[in-house]
Chains A and B, each alone.
Chain A
Amino acid sequence: MSDNVTQQHYNFAFLDEGAKREIRRTILKAVAIPGYQVPFGSRELPIGRGWGTGGLQITLAIIGKQDILKVIDQGSDDSVNAVSIRKLVTATTAVATTTDTQAATLIQSRHRIPEEKLRNDQILVLQVPNPEPLRAVSPKETISRNLHADAEYSGIWLRLYEGIVKFGRTVTGADHPVMVADRYVMNPSPIPKFDNPKLHQAECLYLFGAGREKKIYAVPPHTEVVSLAFEDYPFTVEDVKGRACRLCGATNVYFDEIIDSVTNERYFQCSDSGFCGKRRKRMEVMSGESSAADSNS
């Protein structure tokens, strides 16, 4: 595919300039109203609609020739969809790519925020399947827009409460709703609850793109982001205690659970593959140095 794209001389970053400008204007509005979903004329892209086209449109609209891009899916740089998205962006922009979170200026991600803390010169673009936290309250856009306008979120609180009544504790998984800047309730995209605290008072800019639902929203740096919870049932993240990555030994990170098809053994490894790879490399260098020191003695 990349051969075809370059041969046919598509515009820089695929979209026509008018579309990119429109998306950038939408992003500016989103940044100005943290957590508010700004509608936009979402364009069709050569990857599946529902496979990250919202995030990808943001990436294509803001990427410049100097940017260094990282694309991850479920934390992994090498997951098929991350590969496919990276390929499309590089084929139409020729920007440099990296798997190192710290080296990237622009990161597009599905379902994860990287383990390494992001800086104020970095932007994280998250792909969003369902932008509307009120969708479970009402399937209708006309109703949910009014509820947002009135900051009427009792439907969401009620659902959280009902979960507690039924199961004795909060039962939300990924995409646990957050209150942004004390005004808008927002879906953080299906990141695990483990990643929710990273949105709060962050250094970097978070941009959220929902292509199919045609909405863009943002969490600017240093914004209050509070995961919804009750005083007596506080917000808790997924339990990672007692687990360590079998490759790099990391603890207190989010894990993929892997079942060995031969031994049926269950083990864990870092969901953030760039982070894990970097730790292993560092360990190799260190053990290499120490073995070199050994042979010298």
Chain B
Amino acid sequence: MAYVAVTGGQEAIEESIRLLKYYRTDGEADLEIVALQEKMKLLIDKVISEAGLYAPAYAALALKQCEGCLEEAVFILRAYRSTLTRNHYSKGMDGANMRVIRRISAAFKDIPGGQVLGPTYDYVHRLLDFGLRNESRESIAKWREEYNQQVEGIETYAFPRVSDILRQEGLLEEVAEDRTEPFDVTLNKLPFPTPRSARLQTMARADAGYISGLAYSSLRGFGSVHPTVGELRTGWLAVEVPYILDEEQTIFVGEILVTEVETFVSAEKKTGQEHDELRVGIGYGCVFGRNDTKAISMSILDRALSIEGTAPVNDEEFVLLHGDCLERSGFISHLKLPHYVTFQSKLDQVRKKQEG
């Protein structure tokens, strides 16, 4: 009978799981977990970003476990996260202290410290590279050795923020300093209206496609945010937790790679006079790993959510409640579960109507 059956669910599931293993282990070539982690960096970045768990090695393991399905891998890591006790909150991190590997501005040609393209696919011709089919271990080793010699002695720096230029000139929208403890979306249901910290956390974990789709709708006209990428930077941030015996001191626990964006948009400043003044407002985005599109999109939505408007991107319940990978795919996939009881109830209504 069908998948529910009157009896047989247990056996059906076990057979299905066996079949999954058969599919996962199909073929001759081996898939090393460490290779996944080292060579599929951007995929790993997506998994840890949407899982909200900075664990590249576990992300690689999860990807192997689920035949490379992004949403399954995110799912596995999120579930694993639920078993871990939360012992510490890290100290706040400042993007200005980032050990930068990439840093660009679309607002100014010359920025203090200069533009650093870093590793980006932006200017690569997307031609299928048939040469990679015969790439040998030796040729890679040789190339990397030469490369390392060339870049030896080049130091990386921490750069000041581009927005500081505007701040010094008094052109930035004034935003009051907010010292309240950040909301934790992983331990609480979102309250509405949401604090900004909750919005940013929710978007940082949201599905990249969803976030950029919404941001795109705003650019095309369902909304009024027309941003300039003031600064996009990718690099390493040091994570520190307070030392338990002396809160003044901190313990360094490691580094995380993030992409951080500040977009500039025009903002009005009410003057109370006949004409309002223009200021530069900022939208902020920050995500795990190297993911320019998601970080920029997040900054657009951050801005869109902080202003009044009737577009979908201005509605925080719409934006924040539909982008979580697990919630979205979980509820859609639940439609595959049997609905005999509810459908029977529905049928009862339809039949009553026919009988009149």
Contact = CB atoms under 8 A, between A and B. Distances in A.
A45 B79 contact: yes
Given A14-B83, A271-B344, 18 more contacts: A15-B82, A15-B83, A16-B86, A17-B85, A39-B189, A44-B81, A46-B75, A51-B333, A74-B340, A74-B341, A80-B337, A83-B9, A173-B342, A173-B345, A173-B348, A238-B345, A239-B348, A256-B341
Contacts of B342: 111, 173-175, 190, 192
Contact of A14 (B82, B188, B348): B82
Interface in A237-253: 238-239
A43 B342 CA distance: 27
Contacts of A42: 189
A214 B317 CA distance: 14
Interface in B51-100: 75-76, 78-79, 81-86
A180 interface: no
A140 to B, nearest CB: 5
A44 B345 contact: no
Interface residues of B, number: 53
Contacts of B78: 44
B189 A215 contact: yes
Contacts of A175: 342
A38 to B, nearest CB: 9
Nearest to A41: B187
Contact of B9 (A82, A172, A271): A82
B130 interface: no
Interface of B: 3-10, 12-13, 17, 75-76, 78-79, 81-86, 184, 186-193, 317, 326-327, 329-334, 337-342, 344-349, 352-353
Contact of B82 (A19, A172, A254, A256): A19
Interface residues of A, number: 67
Contacts, number: 162
Main SS of the interface on chain A? loop
B50 to A, nearest CB: 12
Nearest to A86: B10
Contacts of B4: 74, 76, 79-80
B2 to A, nearest CB: 10
A215 B4 CA distance: 28
A49 B326 contact: yes
Contacts of A83: 9-10, 13
Given A74-B341, A111-B341, A112-B341, A141 B334 contact: no
A15 to B, nearest CB: 6
A50 B333 contact: yes
Given A40-B189, A49-B331, A174 B345 contact: yes
B348 A78 contact: no
* Most-contacted residue by chain A among B13, B187, B317, B349 (CB, 10 A): B349
A10 interface: yes
Per CB-CB distance, the 4 closest pairs between chain A and chain B, nearest first, are A49-B330, A50-B331, A39-B189, A50-B330
Given A174-B342, A255-B344, A51 B6 contact: no
B341 A174 contact: yes
Contacts of A200: none
B6 A78 contact: yes
B210 to A, nearest CB: 15
A46 B75 CA distance: 7
Contacts of A174: 341-342, 345-346
